[in-house]
Amino acid sequence: MESYTLFGDAFFQEPSLENAHQLVSYLEKGMAEKLVIPAITLYTVPDLPCNPLALYAKSRAPGGIYALAGLRRSLTREGNAGMAAQARDLIAAGFDGFKLICKPNVRRSFRFAINDPMFDEFYAEAEKFSRPVLFHVGDPASFWQKDKVPSWAVRNGWYYGEDADIPSCEAFYEETLDVLRRYPALPVTFAHFFFMADKLDQVPSLLESYPRVCLDVTPGAEMYAAFSEQRDKARELFAAYGDRFLFGTDNAGCQGPARKNNLRKSRETITLMRRFFETGDTFDGFGYRLRGLALDEKTLCALYNQNFLRVLGKKPAPVDPRRAAALCEEYRNLITGDEPFAESTIRLLEELRDIFMVRKGHDFEKP
Structural contact between residues 342 and 335, judged by C-beta atoms closer than 8 angstroms: yes
Q: How many CB atoms lie within 10 A of CB 337?
A: 8
User: What pLDDT, on a 0 to 100 scale, did the predictor assign at position 17?
Assistant: 87
Q: Is the pLDDT of residue 14 over 80?
A: no
Query: Does 220 sit behind a cis peptide bond, omega within 30 degrees of 0 on the bond before it?
Result: yes
Measured distance CA(268)–CA(173) in Å, rounded: 32
Identify the H or E element spanning 134: strand 133-137
Closest CA to 213 of 128, 132, 330: 132
Structure letter (DSSP) for residue 255: S
The CATH superfamily of 2-359 is Metal-dependent hydrolases (3.20.20.140)
User: What pLDDT, on a 0 to 100 scale, did the predictor assign at position 26?
Assistant: 82
User: What pLDDT, on a 0 to 100 scale, did the predictor assign at position 360?
Assistant: 63
Q: Which residues pair with 38 in a beta bridge?
A: 68
- Chain segment 118-161, per-residue pLDDT in tens: 999 999 999 999 999 999 999 999 999 999 999 999 998 999 99
282-285 vs 288-291, strand pairing mode: antiparallel
Mean pLDDT, rounded, for 292-319: 95
List C-alpha distances in Å: 56 to 2, 18, 62, 359, 360.
18, 11, 10, 11, 13
Coil, helix or strand at residue 332: helix
Query: Does 313 sit behind a cis peptide bond, omega within 30 degrees of 0 on the bond before it?
Result: no
Q: Which residue has the higher pLDDT, 350 or 31?
A: 350
Q: What is 289-306 written as a DSSP string?
A: EEE-----HHHHHIIIII
Structural contact between residues 140 and 220, judged by C-beta atoms closer than 8 angstroms: yes
Measured distance CA(23)–CA(37) in Å, rounded: 9
Structural contact between residues 248 and 270, judged by C-beta atoms closer than 8 angstroms: no
Mean pLDDT, rounded, for 19-43: 85
User: What pLDDT, on a 0 to 100 scale, did the predictor assign at position 261?
Assistant: 57
- Report yes or no on whether pTM surpasses 0.85: yes
- Chain segment 53-95, per-residue pLDDT in tens: 999 999 999 899 999 999 999 999 999 999 999 999 999 999 9
Coil, helix or strand at residue 282: strand
- Chain segment 323-336, per-residue pLDDT in tens: 999 999 999 999 98
